[in-house]
Amino acid sequence: MSILVRCYADCLRRLIWPILLICPLTWLTLARQPKIEGSSAEMATAMGLWLHLPAMLLTAAAIAAILESWPLLSRGRPGAKHLERLPIGPLRGCGVAITAALLSLACGLIIIALCFDWVMQREGRDQSARAIAAAIPAEPDRAQNEFLDARMPAQSTLHFLLPDGLRVDSLQLRPQAVYLGSGEFEPTVIQVYADEQVLSLEPLSISGANEVLNLDFPSRQVQSLEIRALQYGSFQVSFPAGSIVSRSAREFPSWLNCMIAALSYLFPAALSLAVLCLVGRGTSYALSLALALVILLASSLAGLTPHSAALEAYSRSQWIPSASLGSTSLVSMASLAGLLLIAIPARLGGRA
């Protein structure tokens, strides 16, 4: 416990100046972004992706801080030989040090998130979040063969279910439309029903691929959806998995969603530190830091951990707990546990 407290206090002390520098940097970055108004207002939600900048900088600072604080995470550090002789567990205290680093990083990320949300609110970019739920086909076995097609007028209705039973007030539809290759371009006109009641008296028109259709209506509990073809056009229209998304009528505070998004950076930080726990005995301080930063950057670019998806959900004003990140989070935690288990014999096999 003394190692945990000492490393936590030391890391937190080392993170004070980075936090004081990152907060004004975040404000300057957001304040200099052009404001998008009018019909392109939806593009303004991409501003939430700027949260990557302060979160990644702080995570890099936390990794450097724990490398300074705990000598056994790299080779040849002062005091490492003395620590190796102490009975400090199979990971030679590295597991406790990593925990302390993550705790201190979590405190810093919370401060960064509150600062980021305050700046977003000050700049008039509200990120109030809503839960989302994707509709699923009522008959999954037949879903791949169900579409609206002028050549098959008998199949004029598609059926879907909302598994979460949310109280919703909007739907977003991203239909797939394939041109049939005959005649002039004519749109396919559809009507959407919820529990056998029409959601909007104004039909929706599909006139090409990659369209996004937004349907707003008074909030209501929805369990089943029907999409009926009112007029067949020149396209074969289908709604694959994930193409129909409902948004809850309940709003969640933006500061809380921002905090969850920032804390998701604990995943790549843990992955980077676990790799250092595995290979740190044989790498210098500079090489260990460079390796950790490469892993941090690669995990962001390649989506190795769920933090990129969490920040994307935040930028779209989606309530992150409803963004289906559970499986990715479990895989990340399993990878972390596996790396630490492999590191035990590596740590016990020699001295620093």
* Mean predicted lDDT score pLDDT of the chain: 83
Same domain, yes or no, for 33 and 110? yes
In this prediction, residues 98-122 reach a mean pLDDT of 93
Residue 265 confidence (pLDDT) above 80: yes
Same domain, yes or no, for 213 and 245? yes
Same domain, yes or no, for 165 and 135? yes
Domain end point (choices 251, 282, 316): 251
Residue 40 confidence (pLDDT) above 50: no
Question: Residue 130's pLDDT is what?
Answer: 87
Same domain, yes or no, for 150 and 236? yes
The DSSP secondary structure of 177-231, one letter per residue, reads EEE-SSSS---EEEEEEETTEES-SS-EEE-STT--EEEEEEEEE--EEEEEEEE
Same domain, yes or no, for 186 and 232? yes
The Cα 84–Cα 71 span in angstroms is 10
If one compares 206 and 183, the residue with the highest pLDDT of the two is 206
pTM of the model: 0.82
Same domain, yes or no, for 7 and 106? yes
Same domain, yes or no, for 245 and 265? no
Domain with 209, as residue range(s), is 130-251
Question: Residue 351's pLDDT is what?
Answer: 46
Same domain, yes or no, for 324 and 336? yes
Residue 84 confidence (pLDDT) above 70: no
Number of compact structural domains in the chain: 2
Question: Residue 106's pLDDT is what?
Answer: 97
Question: Residue 41's pLDDT is what?
Answer: 44
Domain end point (choices 251, 274, 289): 251
Same domain, yes or no, for 187 and 284? no
Domain end point (choices 210, 228, 251): 251
Question: Residue 88's pLDDT is what?
Answer: 60
Same domain, yes or no, for 122 and 174? no
Question: Residue 290's pLDDT is what?
Answer: 92
If one compares 97 and 39, the residue with the highest pLDDT of the two is 97
Helix (H) or strand (E) holding 55: helix 52-69
Same domain, yes or no, for 137 and 218? yes
Non-local (6+) Cβ contacts of 22 within 8 A are: 54, 57, 58, 112
In this prediction, residues 319-333 reach a mean pLDDT of 87
pLDDT in tens, 147-163: 887 777 767 888 898 87
CATH assignment of the domain containing 167: 2.60.120
Quickly state the pLDDT bin for 281 (edges 50, 70, 90).
confident
pLDDT in tens, 114-151: 999 998 888 777 778 888 888 888 877 765 667 887 77
Quickly state the pLDDT bin for 17 (edges 50, 70, 90).
very high
Residue 3 confidence (pLDDT) above 60: yes
In this prediction, residues 322-330 reach a mean pLDDT of 86
Same domain, yes or no, for 79 and 220? no
Question: Residue 77's pLDDT is what?
Answer: 64
| Burial (Cβ within 10 Å: 0-12, 13-18, ≥19) of residue 302 | exposed
